[in-house]
Amino acid sequence: MDVVLGLAVESVRAGLRAGRRLHRATRPVAGFLLRPDHRVGQRLLALAETGQRGRKVALDELTAAYRKVVPVVAADVVRQLDLADLVTEVAAEIDLPEIIRVSTGSVAAETVRDVRVQSMRADEAVAYWTGRVLRPWRTG
Amino acid sequence: MAADEPKRVWLTPVPEEARAWQGRSAGLVSRTVASVLDLGLVLAVLGVGYLVVCGAVLVTDPVRFHFPSAPRHAVVGLAIGVAILYFAVCWRISGRTYGDRVLGLRVTRRDGRSLGWARALLRAAFCTLFPVGLVWVAVSPARHSIQDLVLRTTVTYDWSTHTRMARE
């Protein structure tokens, strides 16, 4: 592991040294070519300006196209989405009515709920025992 | 459900532990408790009515005031009339009386539709004049009272607050 790290550090150092040497070697040539009063330099500057203008125009056109297309695409996506169904499914998944009921339920509501549940259980018990008495041949 | 049918999700205010019971026929205990509550309500209405009459008599002739009395058969007849009217109107309009509402019950036809005026009135009269018919709920496998068997009605658990039948 250390060998690999050492190799990586040496590689980076070598790259930096090579870059500095290349920069020193090409600096006189680049300075000569890019002088404003030099013909080649003027050509290069004009080319750069043309490129800059082209880039700006292309960027403006792209922005305009983007602003035209995105609302249409977004509207289409929203139209194809069944938001009502989606919301309903999410609300059912998290059991929103239960959360609301628990968080806002009053003592009276809880009492009524308990009475209902107890009555239903009593119904089941009555049905079970009358079934056992009246229909003993039935199992389950 | 067919594979190409869209999945339907029902939001319900019914608590989770009671959802499995919704739409099933109600048993003897729930229906009896609901009937007792309704009986209490009818008696309370009659008592309030009697007090209103007493107040009217007191206001019109305070000097010779005495609590008005009526023949027993007239009082019983009035109570039966009030009960029949109360049951019929409640079952026709919402499918549930006050007692049914407290116990989370609903009275419908066998196919789930609400009762018409004639059926509601007949059922109300039958239940008021022959309350013992309710006991048949304990015997009937489908939990039908005598009134349910004769008039082809049913009483189901329905904790929902809307007027439509609850779905599971």
Within a domain: A80: no
Within a domain: A130: yes
Which alpha helices (DSSP H) does A34-106 contain, by range? 39-80, 83-93, 96-104
Average pLDDT of chain B to the nearest whole number: 87
Within a domain: B69: yes
B2 burial via Cβ count (<10 Å: 0-12, 13-18, 19+) = exposed
Q: Return the DSSP state at B25.
A: B
Express each pLDDT in A32-64 by its tens digit: 766 666 677 778 888 889 999 999 999 999 999
Write out the residue range of the structural domain in which residue A133 sits.
Answer: 95-140
Average pLDDT of chain A to the nearest whole number: 82
What amino acid is encoded at B139 in this protein?
V
Within a domain: B93: yes
Q: Is B41 on the interface with A (CB under 8 A)?
A: no
User: d(Cα A114, Cα A106) in Å, to the nearest integer?
Assistant: 12
Write out the residue range of the structural domain in which residue B107 sits.
Answer: 25-157
Residue A138: partners with Cβ closer than 8 Å, 6 or more residues away: A131
Residue B23: partners with Cβ closer than 8 Å, 6 or more residues away: B156, B157, B158, B165, B166, B167, B168
Within a domain: A20: no
Within a domain: A110: yes
Cβ B107 vs Cβ B115: under 8 Å: yes
| Nearest CA among B103, B109, B116, B123 for reference residue B38 | B103
For the record, the structure tokens of B139 come out as: 């015997």
- pLDDT value of residue A35: 66
Within a domain: A116: yes
| pLDDT band (50, 70, 90) for residue B168 | very low
Within a domain: B130: yes
Q: Output A19 or B86, whichever has higher pLDDT.
A: B86
- pLDDT value of residue A139: 59
In this complex, do B27 and A124 lie within 8 Å of one another by their Cβ atoms?
yes
Within a domain: A123: yes
Q: Is B37 on the interface with A (CB under 8 A)?
A: no
| pLDDT band (50, 70, 90) for residue A105 | low
- pLDDT value of residue A31: 73
Measure B17 CA to nearest chain A CA, in Å.
Answer: 9
Rounded to two decimals, the ipTM of the complex is: 0.78
Express each pLDDT in A76-97 by its tens digit: 988 888 888 888 888 777 777 7
**Across A82-86, A126-130, B58-62, least confident range:** A82-86
- pLDDT value of residue A114: 87
- pLDDT value of residue B167: 42
pLDDT at residue A1 is higher than 90? no
Within a domain: A127: yes
Within a domain: A14: no
Number of domains composing chain B: 1
> Chain A interface, mutation test: which of B10, B17, B19, B21, most A Cβ atoms within 10 Å?
B21
In sequence order, the β-bridge partners of residue B25 are B156
| pLDDT band (50, 70, 90) for residue A5 | confident
Within a domain: B6: no
B82 burial via Cβ count (<10 Å: 0-12, 13-18, 19+) = middle
- pLDDT value of residue B166: 41
